[in-house]
Structure 1
Amino acid sequence: MDSEHKKYSIETTDYQVGQDNLQKWGFDIHNPVFGISAGLILLFICATLLVEPAVAKEVLNTLRNTIMSDFDLLFMWSTNFFLLFAVVLMFSPLGKIRIGGKTEKPEYATPSWLAMLFAAGMGIGLLFWGVAEPTAYFTDWWGTPFNVEPYTPEAKALAMGATIFHWGIHGWAIYGIVALALAFFAYNKGLPLSIRSVFYPIFGDRAWGWLGHMIDILAVLATLFGLATSLGLGAQQATSGINYVFGTEGGIGMQFAVIAFVTFIAILSIIRGIEGGVKLLSNINMIFAFALLVFVTYVGFDIIVVSIPKTFLAYAENILPLSNPHGREDLDWMHGWTVFYWAWWISWSPFVGMFIARISKGRTVRQFLFCVIFVPTFMIMIWMGVFGGIALDQVVNKVGELGTNGLTDISLTLFHVYDQLPFGSVISVLSIVLILIFFVTSSDSGSLVIDSITAGGKIDAPIPQRIFWATTEGLIAAVMLWIGGKEALQALQSGVVITALPFTIVLIIMCVSLVKGLNSERQLYK
């Protein structure tokens, strides 16, 4: 063990011993982080319930719009930087370093590992936006990229290219950097599995003081609001699907019921832990998702065999123009879509990054970054090429609801597409189940991560603490839906953008710290 590695471990041991006495009411907490994070969240929930929903929505929307307008260049260029940084790191000599040490072996088989990181990193959004997003761009539901004329061949190509752009390598590079930094400092340097640990090379002992507390608190808040957005979208889509398929008329009450049901299942899952809960559900997720993908590909093969290559080509052609924020005339579209997406990925990065870090020992930096960035992107291009391709074909050929009336209810877009496919009702029910399972895997894996942060970096927090955070996530999602009403999507976006802004700066500094940490171990691989 080199001297710096040893130094990190000694500092960590002293830090962790100091946490062992902070056990109260069945919780194992790092007082400042847990107390302030929980207090701020509960204050937000109470305050929004006490004021008029319209007032709360107006305040949140104003903050969101101001941030997206004033800090759009920060979000755009920092996300470009994260991708370039990850690619350079992958192909540099530092790519040889192995997470956990030179002789460490992977803890999970590659298929299970990929299934867990994909389920945690994508979740509900893939089902919600896989059909709705390209349709929205093509039909000018909320602007078009580069203000292209809707319903044209150019709009069709841009719709697919822009959708993959928002779900592709840029976002996964953000996850990869955070996950790599957390895994390296936890498993190679012996530091607690917490965001603050990544900054030890820069801040030294101050990482264990209030500076570190603030970093972890930001991570908790960003994670909670990022998760709440996805859970809210999932509740909307699941409710809309249930109403559509079974002829019910549930509204906000049913959405609350869906959140309560899924939160209960998530609690059961986190009690069982990663092996018995998260891993099992993630593998079930992948089986269901793969079966759905195969069936839709089979019934729409003539469309999809053309759509998938065009999707790949559209992504390649548009990735650079869409990455450049300067001289854009489509600022409303860029702010409403791209800037929001980068904020969403950043807000999810502590959660997904820490979860991926927990399951990724034994892989080299190069293997790790390649798998985390490019394998999910490839699968997403297939998924979007299949589902988005069929949706756009229905619009172009005026088939079904989408072809007749366009995008009328974004949460029903997927089910409108299914109406025109064989066994549409069956795959609609399967998709509802898949949405709910994605809902659960996002909630339980997110709770495990927040537990670790608020317990000072410990991996196995007590069960009451896991239950507390799973319940809190559900409450935030419910409150944001309550505030938003018919415009719930905008309310859900607000919390993401507000918390992602400061965490963007944290991620930029994290890149510097990661290079310093990796360099300290470079000589071991010569």
Structure 2
Amino acid sequence: MTAEEETLPEELAPEESVYETDYQTGQDNIKFLGLDIHNPVFFMSAGLILSFAIITLTFSSTSGEFLTAARDWTLKRFDWFFVVATNIVFLFCLFVGLSSFGKIRLGGPDAKPEFGTLSWLSMLFSAGVGIGMVFYGAAEPTAYYTDWFGTPLDVEPRSAEAERLAFSATIFHWGVTPWAIYAVVGLSLAFFTFNKGLPLTIRSTFYPLLGERVWGWPGHLIDLLAVVATLFGLATSLGLGAKQAASGLHFLFGIDNGLATQVILIASITAMAIFSVVRGLDGGVRVLSNVNIVLALLLLAYVILAGPTLGILQSYGVNAFSYVTDSLRLSNWIGREDTEWFHGWTIFYWAWWISWSPFVGMFIARVSRGRTIREFLAAVLVMPVIVAVIWFSSFGYTAIDQVKSGVGSLSGGVSEVSLVLFQMLENLPFAEISSLVAIILLIVFFVTSSDSGSLVIDSITAGGKLHAPIPQRVFWATMEGLVAIVLLVGGGSAALTALQAGAITTGLPFTLVLLACCVSLWRGLASETPVSD
């Protein structure tokens, strides 16, 4: 059996591809110790990651200053480019979804979905934004309202206008525009893999533009950037998330939130991720994602019922309308008086979402075979807006209500973003139980992100294979945890902040990748036979 027969289902074999290519998945691979390594990408990415960790630890102060300066320069000089590019990507996705191309089924006309709709949607959210929504559900609207780091459009803090914009800006940051970033990468990968017979790796999306060169060094460099960005982003989230979870445990139960606790949390999350990644996509990520959704729904229902229920329910329609009417003003970069807030939040978010697009986009593609393009885009673009409106309105309205009423720790405003959720829950009934559920939810989301990220890196470093060997999955899941621990122990928050700044800076070149994906995908879709009703 050939390498490509091991990798792709029979109906996806390259000989049936529209594209004429001699590339065979795994042709450059070497096998030893149970690993299946795509030689250039695996060793270059592993070497770069280890070198970066060593340099950051050795020169933590200097590297931190350099990367932070690079991040600030990127956000300041290219704010217009991020805004224009993300709007172009959204309009492209909207056009494709509404066009006749929307009828195309990923995997061919006879392809069946690999996962049920609920499991599919659960995995999309768990990998994409689940952990962020838990962290910022109460914190982000409250921070905007109280002027923790400026207010949207420079309105008066704690005013009615500030409250309205707090929700519209938050939903704007988590709604349709950023999800279009994930959608175009995910759709490109799914289409070229399942409909054109190319391997599931970032380079495949550039075949219409680069031709056979994608199998050479141009493709190696594209995949290398994707692997490094993914692992750095995951390692940073693990490190920062462990610090935040430890702070929550200390705030609630008095558990020491020092380095030992943070290392134990990372090690535990990594161990659970390894167990999950060994079980595979169906038995690991799918199960965890379903658990995530159940816990998230329970916590959401609790906040709605225990908080100011009537006000929360009324806020859904108001906040959805405000999001639509305020989006143009929030997108404008010309002559803004809230420059610090705009760069520190909106442009920062756009760069962060873009830097994560290889990871989340590839994972979304991996689980979306059998869906039509219109179904794919509807799920990835429309559902997040609905969820964002409900989630941020419920948590944010409850927290802001406590601020306005002078209740508990939030009466003085936001002191630390990572604690807002727990400070809000503290003033509701059964606070210890709900806070414990929130911590468990955070941890499970972390495990899901680490697991899905490992599956993505496995695929890239195995030359696009859909099912990399188990030892290779374990290797990358372990690497994520080890990098986070090493940076945390050696450089503390300074090293992790430097790593985060580096991930944000990569958002600039990946913006060009996004725009190129639109052009490449359009060429690929144009080669498809029109689908009749």
TM-score, length-scaled by structure 1: 0.95
Task: Show the 5 A alignment for 1:93-242.
Answer: 93-242=100-249
Give the Cα separation in 2 of the matches to 1:190 and 1:82: 25
Q: State whether structure 2 residue 405 is matched by structure 1 residue 397.
A: yes
Query: Is contact 2:57-2:487 (8 Å) kept?
Result: no
**Residue 311 (structure 1) aligns with:** 319
Task: Show the 5 A alignment for 1:263-412.
Answer: 263-300=270-307, 301-403=309-411, 405-412=412-419
Query: Is contact 1:99-1:363 (8 Å) kept?
Result: yes
Deviation at 1:317, TM superposition (A): 1.8
Deviation at 1:303, TM superposition (A): 2.8
Runs of at least 5 residues in structure 2 that lack an aligned partner in the other structure: 1-10
Question: Partner amino acid for 1:58?
Answer: E
Deviation at 1:480, TM superposition (A): 5.4
Task: Show the 5 A alignment for 1:49-128.
Answer: 49-51=57-59, 53-128=60-135
Give the Cα separation in 1 of the matches to 2:426 and 2:474: 39
**Residue 428 (structure 2) aligns with:** 421
| Cα 1:81–1:361 shift into 2, 3 Å | same
Task: Give the alignment's Cα RMSD to 1 decimal.
Answer: 2.0
When structure 1 is superposed on structure 2, of 470-479 and 336-345 the one drifting more is 470-479
Query: Is contact 1:179-1:353 (8 Å) kept?
Result: yes
Secondary structure, aligned partner of 2:109: coil
Query: Is contact 2:64-2:494 (8 Å) kept?
Result: no
Query: Is contact 1:241-1:415 (8 Å) kept?
Result: yes
Secondary structure, aligned partner of 1:518: helix
Query: Is contact 1:262-1:440 (8 Å) kept?
Result: yes
Deviation at 1:106, TM superposition (A): 1.3
**Residue 477 (structure 1) aligns with:** 484
Deviation at 1:234, TM superposition (A): 2.2
When structure 1 is superposed on structure 2, of 282-291 and 137-146 the one drifting more is 137-146
Pick one of 11, 20, 29 that aligns with 2:21: 11
Query: Is contact 2:165-2:322 (8 Å) kept?
Result: yes
Give the Cα separation in 2 of the matches to 1:415 and 1:443: 24
**Residue 267 (structure 2) aligns with:** 260
Residues matched between the structures, number: 521
Deviations along 1:438-474, one digit per CA (max 9) or x if unpaired, are: 0000000000001101111001111222122112222
| Cα 1:124–1:85 shift into 2, 3 Å | same
Secondary structure, aligned partner of 1:22: strand
Structure 1 stretches of 4+ with a deviation exceeding 6 A read none
Give the Cα separation in 2 of the matches to 1:239 and 1:488: 18
**Residue 6 (structure 2) aligns with:** none
**Residue 8 (structure 2) aligns with:** none
Q: State whether structure 2 residue 489 is matched by structure 1 residue 463.
A: no
Query: Is contact 2:123-2:285 (8 Å) kept?
Result: yes
Deviation at 1:347, TM superposition (A): 1.6
Give the Cα separation in 2 of the matches to 1:473 and 1:497: 18
| Cα 1:55–1:450 shift into 2, 3 Å | same
Deviations along 1:106-151, one digit per CA (max 9) or x if unpaired, are: 1111111101111111132111111111111111111111111111
Deviation at 1:309, TM superposition (A): 2.2
Secondary structure, aligned partner of 2:415: coil
Give the Cα separation in 1 of the matches to 2:516 and 2:452: 26
Query: Is contact 1:130-1:388 (8 Å) kept?
Result: yes
Query: Is contact 2:273-2:450 (8 Å) kept?
Result: yes
Deviation at 1:68, TM superposition (A): 1.1
| Cα 1:71–1:346 shift into 2, 3 Å | same
Query: Is contact 2:164-2:322 (8 Å) kept?
Result: yes
Deviations along 1:351-385, one digit per CA (max 9) or x if unpaired, are: 11111111111111111101111112211210101
Deviation at 1:218, TM superposition (A): 1.2
Secondary structure, aligned partner of 2:238: helix
Paired-residue identity, %: 54
Deviation at 1:87, TM superposition (A): 0.5
Task: Show the 5 A alignment for 1:424-439.
Answer: 424-439=431-446
When structure 1 is superposed on structure 2, of 282-291 and 245-254 the one drifting more is 245-254
| Cα 1:253–1:76 shift into 2, 3 Å | farther
Query: Is contact 1:57-1:483 (8 Å) kept?
Result: no
Deviation at 1:426, TM superposition (A): 0.4
Deviation at 1:8, TM superposition (A): 4.8
